[in-house]
Every structure is written in C-alpha cells, then in structure tokens.
Copies of this chain bind each other. A is one copy, B any other.
C-alpha cells in the first residue's frame, strides 16, 4: 500500500461537516472517499486530521489515504479535482511514509474566526464571516485571550456535555487583529474540543462588548462548566487554516 497526504480546501456551507455520519452522504469526507474510491476501483478510507462541524470551512485540512498502487501526484490531483464538486478541492498531494497518520501525527492546528464588525453588511464575503455590529474593546479581548494561552482544562469551552476523555489542551497562541471592519481571531493549539473555537470566540466577544471583564476569564476556566462560558458563535465564520506535523 502507498500512503498519501492530501491538503484539502472546502467551502463548508452546504455540508454536514467533515466526518461521514451514518448514511448521510453530504459530508466532505464522504465526497472525497467516493471520488477516490471511484478512481482506484474499490472503497478506500480517508483519515482526516480531525472533524470540522457543519458549515465550517477549511483552507488547509489534511488527510491521508492508502492506495493499492503508486500514483503520479500531479495527475491524480487533477483527476480528483475533476470529479469533486466545485466547493471541495485537493490543493496538494504528496507521498508520505507508511506510518504517517493525519490525526495521530498532527502537532498543531490553526483555526481562524472572522467577524464583520459593522452594521453595514459585507455582501461578497458573507458566507465566510459572521456579522457582529456592536463596538468592541479589542485591547480587553486581547487581555482576556492571554489568560487562555497555555495548558488548561478547557471543559468550560467544550460543546459536548458528557465528554469522557481528557479536556486538557494546550493553546499556543490567540491573535486578534482588526483591519477596518474585519476582525479576525486566530487560534493555534495542539488540539481543540468540539465547538471550542466557537465558544472561545463567543466568550471573547462578551469581553469585547463589556458584558464580562477580561479578568473573569480565569474563573471561566477554573469553573470547568460549560455554563460559565459564553455562547458558541455561528459556524460560517470559522475556517481550519492549517494543520502542522513535525
């Protein structure tokens, strides 16, 4: 078997997320597996770096797949893109060692949440951002974000109520930038819990509007209770930017 790493871009608008669920065809993984299986002549399984929720996009999702024969990466890439729908594309394909696994070997992931901080709509980019008009105190948001950096139990920011596994994760950085009305929050960490980026963003927005103090963030963390954090912001503003490996 030959192991290949795929870098994948998608507009998640019309999908039920990355992962195949039951007999639901409308998933990114499902679409990709169907196309690759058709090209190689039998069913293949794709291993993604992790799930993305319904409506979430990706600029650089990573997956690996084992194929029975060696392929010419440039040719196979073109063939995949020919059969894929216009909202999914494989932007890179490379042979990797047999032991490479897109999820198990990932060392960090970067997500970006985009907010349009204006009462005037942004028509052209509307499917890739969330409009949020109230004035925001960016300095306070950055201060609150700083307290989240590091290794913590992020149970308060986990969207899954009864999550049995460890909810300890390490956040390497949170970068909050504003250019005109465009606000971006970029999160880099070793892994993220279900809806964690969206709940972190929702809580930071509450700091930005003055609903919470920047200092309260430590209390949210130590509460280890979903009710202590803010609401999850909508999925369409979120994109998985990149996945890194050693």
Q: Which A residues are within 8 Å of any B CB, using their own CB?
A: 9-11, 57, 59, 77-78, 81, 86-89, 91, 119-124, 126, 128
Partner of A123, one of B89, B119, B120, B122: B89
Bound Cα distance A165, B81 (Å): 46
Instruction: Give the chain B neighbours of A120 by CB distance below 8 A.
Output: 77, 81, 89, 91
Instruction: Give the chain B neighbours of A122 by CB distance below 8 A.
Output: 9, 89
| Most chain B Cβ neighbours within 10 Å, of A87, A88, A124 | A124
Instruction: Give the chain B neighbours of A57 by CB distance below 8 A.
Output: 124
Q: Are B89 and A9 in contact (CB under 8 A)?
A: no
Q: Are B123 and A11 in contact (CB under 8 A)?
A: yes
Instruction: Give the chain B neighbours of A119 by CB distance below 8 A.
Output: 78
Copies of this chain, how many? 2
Partner of A128, one of B9, B10, B121, B124: B124
Known contacts A89-B122, A89-B123, A91-B121; 17 additional CB pairs below 8 A are A9-B122, A9-B123, A9-B124, A11-B123, A11-B124, A57-B124, A59-B124, A77-B120, A78-B119, A81-B120, A81-B121, A86-B123, A86-B126, A87-B123, A87-B126, A88-B123, A91-B120
Bound Cα distance A128, B123 (Å): 12
Bound Cα distance A78, B89 (Å): 37
Q: How far is the CB of A74 from chain B (nearest CB, A)?
A: 9
Q: What are some 11 contacts across the A-B interface (CB < 8 A)?
A: A9-B121, A9-B124, A11-B123, A11-B124, A57-B124, A81-B120, A86-B123, A88-B123, A89-B120, A91-B120, A124-B128
Q: How far is the CB of A242 from chain B (nearest CB, A)?
A: 14
Instruction: Give the chain B neighbours of A89 by CB distance below 8 A.
Output: 120-123
Instruction: Give the chain B neighbours of A81 by CB distance below 8 A.
Output: 120-121
Bound Cα distance A9, B124 (Å): 8
Q: How far is the CB of A202 from chain B (nearest CB, A)?
A: 22
Instruction: Give the chain B neighbours of A59 by CB distance below 8 A.
Output: 124
The 8 closest A-B pairs by CB, nearest first: A89-B121, A9-B123, A89-B123, A91-B120, A11-B123, A81-B121, A11-B124, A87-B123
